[in-house]
């Protein structure tokens, strides 16, 4: 029992040292629900995040998207596909569980979104949704060489923005 705890502490210490020395792992560790172990594991396992064409493709590679069985225009979404690396997916989901459990104590945009989502779809689906969201954000942060901004508001696309503005003016 003590040997297992010691091995876990050694692994956590190595991950912390890796995060302190690796800029990409430092950026990854700034996300809500991603700690030093998850950050170093993701950076070490994936390598170049540009190998994925989009954040959506990265989330699918991790197996964090629902399976799809659609016919005749009716979309039927199932459970997560569980494709890809089990260890990385488990780390992301465990970190997301921690973030969902403590979301009520924080007032940032992601925590507020989590609280609303948890009320609407349930605890487990909110956890998987945050894990997928973290994977997508991580892809964007590491491919664009930008820092994570928890209060980022995405720009509204021009066509949709014009429709929203016209609707608001009417």
Can you give the pTM of this predicted structure? 0.75
pLDDT at 167: 63
**Longest CA–CA separation in the chain, Å:** 69
Token pair belonging to 111: 């925590």
pLDDT in tens, 79-129: 676 777 888 889 999 999 999 999 989 888 889 999 999 999 999 999 999
Give the C-alpha separation, 36 to 29, whole Å: 6
Is 3 contained in some domain? no
Q: Is residue 146 one of the residues assigned to a domain?
A: yes
Average pLDDT, the chain: 80
In a domain, 26, yes or no: no
Domain membership of residue 90 (yes or no) is yes
DSSP 8-state class, residue 103: G
The answer to whether residue 7 sits within a structural domain is: no
Domain housing 100:
48-169
Phi, psi angle pair for 48, to nearest 5°: -90, 115
- Number of domains comprising the chain: 1
């Amino acid at each position: 029992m003590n040997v297992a705890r010691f091995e876990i502490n050694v692994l956590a210490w190595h991950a912390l040292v890796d995060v302190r020395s690796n800029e990409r792992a430092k950026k990854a560790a700034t996300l809500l629900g991603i700690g030093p172990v998850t950050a170093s594991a993701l950076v070490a396992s994936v390598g170049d995040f540009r190998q994925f064409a989009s954040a959506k493709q990265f989330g699918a590679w991790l197996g964090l998207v629902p399976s799809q069985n659609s016919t005749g225009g009716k979309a039927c979404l199932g459970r997560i596909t569980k494709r890809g690396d089990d260890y990385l997916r488990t780390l992301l989901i465990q970190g997301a569980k921690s973030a969902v459990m403590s979301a009520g104590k924080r007032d940032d945009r992601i925590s507020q979104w989590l609280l609303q989502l948890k009320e609407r779809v349930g605890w487990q689906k909110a956890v998987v949704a945050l894990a997928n969201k973290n994977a997508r954000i991580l892809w964007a942060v590491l491919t664009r060489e930008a820092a994570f901004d928890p209060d980022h508001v995405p720009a509204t696309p021009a066509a949709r923005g014009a429709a929203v503005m016209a609707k608001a003016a009417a």
